Amino acid sequence: MKRIFIIFTSIFILILAGCSEEEVTPHERLDDYFKLWEEQNFTQMYEMLTEESKEAYPTDQYIDRYEKIYSDLDITEVQLSYEKLSEEQIETALEEGIATLPFVGNMMTMAGPIEFNYEVTLKQIGEEEEKNWFLEWDPGFIFPEIKDGGEIRISVTEPRRGDILDRNRLPLALNGTVLEVGVVPGKLGDNPEASKEELAMLLNISVESIDKALSASWVKPDLFVPVGKQIPESNQELLDQLWQVEGVMTQKTTGRIYPLGEAAAHLVGYVGKITAEELEGQDSTRYTANDTIGKTGLERFFESELKGEKGIKIYTTKEGNDDITLAEKPVQNGKSIQTTIDINIQEKIYNSLENAPGTAAAIHPKTGETLALVSSPSFDPNKMVYGISQTEWDALQNNPDQPLFNRFSATYAPGSVIKPITAAIGLNNGTITPEEELEITGLSWGKGESWGNYEVTRVSEANPVNLMTAMTLSDNIYFAKKTVDMGGVAFTTGLQQFGLGEELPLEVPIATSSISSTGDLNDEVLLANTSYGQGEIEVSALHLASMYSAILNNGVMYKPVILLENELSQVWKEELVTTEQAGILQETLRNVVTNGTASYAKNSSFPISGKTGTAELKLTLDEEDGEQNGWFVGYPTNEQDIIIAMMMEKVQDIGASGLVVQKVTEVLEEIKK
């Protein structure tokens, strides 16, 4: 009896073991295939095809084609689903060795999502333990539209780059007509090589690049072949020379144009062909190796808005059939940006500098609008886009006046134009009272050995000296004495309240104005020198103009703005002076013109107020003579609708700050005509 029980138990275990070795279902096999598909593992997917499918579609028509199409279309987020068979259908499939299941494919492409419906047929192949399910495959699995042949195509519509406009919608940068230079091979004349050499010389390109363009498979003797250079219509001299070369022709096309040329080159910037390094950091759906990109200035800072989005269409094409669109993303042209810049003011200020090294910023003090940002000398941005010769480039690079350097984005020692700010700080913290008179004799003052016998000097002798006298005569000693009395901590705090040491809240990067190399004024000599704009203090022209606006706005300094769409008159700093103190400072600035160092401005047909400054660029305190930068910050006394802060370099032998007063006065006169 016991033996019978053991035999029965053994048979039962064998039966259970047999039941546990269930056949692989079509669902399990399809799940494995779809998982590999979603991972884009086309090599392992290929191993799951029937031998008939592999014979019909070798690896180049399956693995290679899948990989190329998925790469070209930038396919991601592949998701596959299918409707499962019923238990009865599974039993039938297992009996017949074939199963057909409808499925849905979803994926994201460079042109947007694609969804398609198809069906998969699996065949059970093999004997006993080797038995498994394999897929019958055809190109419809890639996209149903190419099941019976056809090709996948991509068409790209380039977006129109947005314009850069001034406050009156006049163009600072726009898409204008330029001329594409090319060659008609059959018209190169009796000496084609000489014609190509002359063309290469005029365009500053190589003969090899011309030959490469002419060797393209589509080229025919009577066809126009572009050589990769465009010329603005305004460059008539070069065009006349090109048209004299046999076989050379031009065709109109669209290109970037900068109407103000040198006058706004550093501000507006220019575009150029994207480099490999630049391409690495960009969205691959927006940029290719053939794209242009903003290189400098507003073109670079607002590249994302100006660029726009390419229109992309993915479609299938087959001879004798209409094209079928699989996915399409419409083109989005770049957004034009309207700035607060006034072309009229920008150009007049630039022209006034007459290519001398210098910079200027103009703002509307009541709104914070940036009206002009000027750097001189400059360069022609149109040449940067359409080809600058090596000779011209070398000349720019080697010019000691550095025309490629953007001066309005830099900071400089302000000299005496900082004195109104020093006065504002002193008035606000109670260190300076307008009526107080200091006894100052002689042209120098110091603290003897405790200062290493260093002395502060002044140009004009006056005694006693109050705030009005000190501002009018630009008395260094008065401001040094009052600031030393104030102390380094209080003066540093005051300068910080005016935004020094803090980034300007502006979309265009401007170097941060600084108080000193350490940020403090613990050394008394440094403190004294800083009070009148020497020492280590440095400010940008735009920041300086903004600081003066607080004097015109009863202690409020508005955020500088360069996009007209932004909110105007946004408070950046406030309570810098009281209304009464602002009035006192305005009186002193008018007196600087009527009785002081800015006397040239009296020639204006309307009242002008402002402050002059001369910053000596000495390497050491002991150095007697150094180069001088001249400053003037001026505004119409009554209207107070513009402040111009201008600096000119190396003015020690050409009129010092008086020359700058003349420039600003003449610009204001022209603007107010």
Catalytic one among 375, 378, 409, 416? 416
What is the Cα–Cα distance from 472 to 488, expressed in whole angstroms?
Answer: 25
Residue (of 22, 1, 24, 4) closest to 12 by Cα position: 4
What is the Cα–Cα distance from 447 to 346, expressed in whole angstroms?
Answer: 46
- 600 and 664 Cβ atoms separated by less than 8 Å: no
- For 149-202, give the secondary structure using H, E and C: CCEEEEEEECCCCCCEECCCCCEEEEEEEEEEEEECHHHCCCCHHHHHHHHHHH
What is the Cα–Cα distance from 219 to 500, expressed in whole angstroms?
Answer: 62
CB atoms under 10 Å from CB of 443, counted, come to 14
- 224 and 251 Cβ atoms separated by less than 8 Å: yes
Q: How would you classify the pairing of strands 151-157 and 311-317? A: antiparallel
Please give the backbone phi and psi of residue 521, each rounded to the nearest 5 degrees, phi first: -130, 60
Residue (of 269, 293, 295) closest to 381 by Cα position: 269
Q: How would you classify the pairing of strands 337-338 and 164-165? A: parallel
Report how far apart, in Å, the C-alpha atoms of 649 and of each of 42, 84, 393, 407 are.
67, 81, 23, 11
Is 416 catalytic? The answer is yes
Q: The tokens 């096999």 sit on which residue? A: 29
Measure CA 314 to chain center: 31
What is the Cα–Cα distance from 560 to 542, expressed in whole angstroms?
Answer: 8
What is the Cα–Cα distance from 452 to 525, expressed in whole angstroms?
Answer: 9
What is the Cα–Cα distance from 316 to 73, expressed in whole angstroms?
Answer: 13
- The tokens describing 37, both together, are 């598909």
Fill in the DSSP letter of residue 369: B
CB atoms under 10 Å from CB of 393, counted, come to 15
Instruction: Give the DSSP H/E element, type plus range, for residue 114.
Output: strand 112-125
- 211 and 228 Cβ atoms separated by less than 8 Å: no
Cα end-to-end distance, the chain, whole Å: 127
Buried b (16+ CB within 10 A) or exposed e, 247-283: bbbbeeeebbbbbbbbbbbbbbbbbbebeeeeeeeee
Residue (of 121, 119, 116) closest to 152 by Cα position: 116
- 253 and 178 Cβ atoms separated by less than 8 Å: yes
Measure CA 45 to chain center: 45
- The tokens describing 174, both together, are 């726009």
Length of the chain: 673
Q: How would you classify the pairing of strands 358-363 and 643-648? A: antiparallel
- The tokens describing 470, both together, are 């000190």
Q: 218: burial class by Cβ within 10 Å (0-12, 13-18, 19+)?
A: exposed
Please give the backbone phi and psi of residue 106, each rounded to the nearest 5 degrees, phi first: -125, 140
What is the Cα–Cα distance from 246 to 196, expressed in whole angstroms?
Answer: 9
Where in the sequence numbering do the catalytic residues fall? 416
